[in-house]
Amino acid sequence: MPGGNFDAFIRAIALKRDQVPSFREYPFNIPVVRHLEELALDPRVTFFVGENGTGKSTLLEAVAVALRFNPEGGTMNFRFSTRDTHAPLHEFLRLVRGVRRPKGGFFLRAESLYNAATYLDTEVPECLDSYGGVSLHQQSHGESFMAILTHRFGPNGLYILDEPEAALSPLRQLALLSRLHELVTQNCQFIIATHSPIVMAYPHAAIYLLTQEGIHQTEYKETEHYRVARDFLNRTDSMLSELLKGQMDFPKES
């Protein structure tokens, strides 16, 4: 039943469809918004998956902003804006809250982590100890992601992650799964947009597939992400041959 997970910090996301000015205008014309009515969230982990352009990041950003996170990422206390580009979708969302309240939270997005790291260094350097004591700018993209996951994320938190795999090697994605599970056992809730068949393999998560035609819940092994990765790894040579149309004999270097 939608919104029935009372142990979740956020039980469901609903669109105030009667208040939408026009479904022909952005952001209401993107697939996820056109089809959004109410989505029940898992109290532990919910994934949004789908092709580029279906609106995963747009929806995730709107949820984060509705929760009063900074649109460019960080905690609810981050106060910076390098460019105000977020859509007003958050004003048309209704978040169905559970009986519990999170003790912490973070909006982690790959594309604007540089801006969040700069804010930490220049505006609140006294907070760096909460991130491992080392400037995020002095670490690689993947290392800074893991530093936040390891040091800043804690028990009873609500965490929103936008394509975390963008910064992580396959091995680090496995480390992410391990840290994710550790935090889930400490009563945390995650909402994650991802393309990674590794990340979305987390057991018993709710997986919502976003398409041009609608939104529906699916199983991990039914996702295109899993099937394509499986088939490519099992039939690498034949798939490459088909994809490259027999052009496997590359010119020799002179």
Q: Which pLDDT does position 183 carry in this prediction?
A: 97
Q: What is the CA radius of gyration of the chain?
A: 19
Strands 189-193 and 157-162: parallel
Q: Residue 226 belongs to what H/E stretch?
A: helix 224-234
Q: Which pLDDT does position 247 carry in this prediction?
A: 63
pLDDT, tens only, 137-151? 777 878 888 888 898
Q: Which pLDDT does position 42 carry in this prediction?
A: 96
Q: What is the DSSP string of 194-205?
A: ---TTGGG-TT-
Q: Which pLDDT does position 3 carry in this prediction?
A: 46
pLDDT digit of tens for each residue in the chain (254 aa)? 344 566 899 999 999 999 999 999 999 999 999 999 999 999 999 999 999 889 998 999 999 999 989 887 777 766 655 555 556 899 999 999 999 899 999 998 876 566 677 776 776 677 777 778 787 777 787 888 888 889 889 999 999 999 999 889 999 999 999 999 999 999 999 999 999 999 999 999 999 999 999 999 999 999 999 999 999 999 999 999 888 885 656 555 55
Provide the whole-model pTM.
Answer: 0.88
Alpha carbon distance 133, 147 (integer Å): 9
Domains in the chain, please, with CATH? 10-219 (3.40.50)
Q: Which pLDDT does position 25 carry in this prediction?
A: 92
